[in-house]
Structure 1
């Protein structure tokens, strides 16, 4: 074999090795988040340890990330380790949090080497971080034989691409700014832009006293060339939020959670409204009153976490409350 062929074969082998190593990394599906926002962490496990099935996934919740809540996974045992935070953080309704979940572990499976799976939790990223910083979640992947420790963090000013086993990273970005409405058009609600997505008029409805759930509604338009997906939401007045669908089957109205979220294809506008696709806010801490505004977040698979404000319409309202920006 001549020297050029040898060099070509060596280069191909090196590229294959690098590609295989990169594919092996534990990664996060959503890699951007804003300070002081709810973040839905989706840890992606691409394969096992040199052919051995995965039996446990452990993630460390870093300092500055609070109120972590993991999602149970069928076939796996879920365990959390709690501990103190470096300081107390303000939380909703004047409360403070001084401790919480510091490590999450899923064990069981096994997840075969040739299979892929995701492990999910939500947490609040505090304003300890500024746009431009990188936040890392160390992950240990245990297998029937061996383990991978995705825990390497670059030194200040170091090259993260040189790390052998990098900890999954999230880039901190500025919260989405309001998008300008079309010239000459009246705005009947908030308009936000998050990457290629345009988010219009987040709203909810007033609730009667004692109600523990409320719906969330909005319009999302994808102006880009790649699909995105709305995978989660939160509101300051609710204990948790989910993406839901309401439909009628044989004359019976049914509601179900969409665990995989809602896809927004390129050029598509998706409307979340009463009686159809919607957000569901549960464990309300107080009644929602018409005319109020509620802070919350939307979580997209690619666009990341977007801070929004839900305007509260009337009890039983069918459309967003009118609101003219001046």
Structure 2
């Protein structure tokens, strides 16, 4: 990683190569035609934001081969998106103040992102993308400027706000969407924990007195080492287990994963209806559509993080009342689901036909 360097000065920086008067005039005139901007100009305080920088042209006749974006104070935990045909590098440096990133103190991180070795002709348009989080101590109405510099064969154009003709691409902050702890607050789209990203989380609503419910999400491991989801817990249930549900021929077998769920390096693992899932056992009350349920996920390497699961209607996202499917598998002793022990014993738990009948019954009821 490179170390953080100072912000570029002035709207136009020329390289050490000599320029003819005509080339200087072209470079100076070019930015007035169109500005570098962000595709989305607003983001809530404390939320994750996907930032897309629009580069509208080259250097008036010259192709852009490098784009560099400096990340302002107040924007942290940034990760860039690779771009085909371009080399990607990042520059790290300290933050002015530490951030609490899901229980882990962050004192430094990515402060600048550079895409190089590309070719954006003057007549073309392109976008450069990264994501990160807006600091929770900022206020609605604050503005975050992302100083952007595009480099061509004979010079640079800096969109840094140094004059009206060179405004920096900027995010205007809006009011926070909630603190993420209350039962009715909106959940963030993504949660980061080290090299892991948790996204697309949700749970399925349950009828009154249902003993179990299913939770689902996507785990992305962007690191170089494997990790493993080894446990989970939640205040909405007596216990939480990590389960697998899979068809073997025409027989559906379901079981707890006692060793947890592997999250291989560089891969994405989906927990979804009909496959891997989080099982809320001994529910303390019904899960109500439109509310959220908090669950703490425990990873072997990355540690712990709390995730908010928006509660969707039964049957949403192909779930077909997943919790109710589990609830149909009971042994009559205290209402305890016995599908795990049955699967581990190798006995058929439920055929596909019986499972469909159970789902239909749950929808009718």
TM-score (norm 2): 0.47
Which of 137, 153, 156 is residue 144 of structure 1 equivalent to? 153
* Higher mean displacement: 95-104 or 123-132: 123-132
Match of 1:318 in 2: 320
* SS of alignment partner, residue 109 of structure 1: coil
What SS does the corresponding residue of 1:167 show, helix, strand or coil? coil
In the alignment, the residues of structure 2 paired with residue 319 and residue 49 of structure 1 have an alpha-carbon distance, to the nearest angstrom, of: 57
Aligned match of 1:266? none
Gaps of 5+ in 1: 1-19, 154-161, 178-188, 193-201, 203-231, 244-273, 296-307
Correspondence for 1:26: 36
What CA distance in whole angstroms lies between the structure 2 residues aligned with 1:163 and 1:312? 47
Q: Deviation digits for residues 188-233 of structure 1, max 9, x if unmatched?
A: x9797xxxxxxxxx8xxxxxxxxxxxxxxxxxxxxxxxxxxxxx94
Q: Which has the higher strand share?
A: 1
Please give the alpha-carbon distance, in whole angstroms, between the structure 1 residues aligned to 2:150 and 2:60: 12
The answer (yes or no) to whether the contact 2:67–2:151 under 8 Å persists in 1 is yes
| C-alpha displacement of 1:293 | 2.2
Higher relative contact order (CA 8 A, sep 6+): 1
CA contact (8 A) 1:52 1:144 kept: yes
1:115-136 alpha-carbon deviations (Å, 9 max, x no partner): 1111110111112320011111
Matched, 1:82 2:92: yes
> TM-score under structure 1 normalisation?
0.53
Residue equivalent to 1:216 = none
Of the three residues 114, 119, 144, the one matched with 2:123 is: 114
The correspondence for 1:282, drawn from 203, 220, 232, is: 220
- Measure how far apart 1:317 and its partner are: 4.1
* Alpha-carbon contact 2:177-2:185 (below 8 Å) kept: no
Q: Does 1:132 align with 2:133?
A: no
Q: How does 1:85-234 map to 2 (within 5 A)?
A: 85-92=95-102, 94-152=103-161, 163-176=164-177, 233-234=189-190
Q: Equivalents in 2 of 1:47, 1:321: separation in Å?
A: 53
Greater Rg by CA: 2
Query: What is aligned with 1:36?
Result: 46
Contact 2:191 2:199 in 1 (8 A): no
**DSSP-derived class of the 1:59 partner:** strand
> Measured at CA, do residues 74 and 241 of structure 1 come closer, stay the same or move farther in structure 2, by a change above 3 Å?
farther
The answer on whether the counterparts of 2:32 and 2:165 sit within 8 Å (CA) in structure 1 is: no
Deviation at 1:109, TM superposition (A): 1.4
Match of 1:239 in 2: 196
**Alpha-carbon offset, residue 102 of structure 1:** 0.6
1:250 equivalent in structure 2: none
Q: Which residues of structure 2 form unaligned runs of 5+? A: 1-29, 201-213, 222-227, 233-277, 281-286, 288-292, 297-306, 325-365
CA displacement at 1:25 relative to structure 2: 1.1
Superposition deviation, residue 21 in structure 1: 4.9
RMSD over aligned CA atoms reads 3.8
Cα distance in 1 for residues equivalent to 2:323 and 2:147: 44
- Residue correspondences, number: 200
For 2:138 and 2:184, the matched residues in 1 are separated by 26
Name the CA distance, whole Å, in 2 between partners of 1:60 and 1:139: 6
Deviation at 1:65, TM superposition (A): 1.0
Contact between 2:74 and 2:144, CA under 8 Å: does it hold in 1?
Answer: no
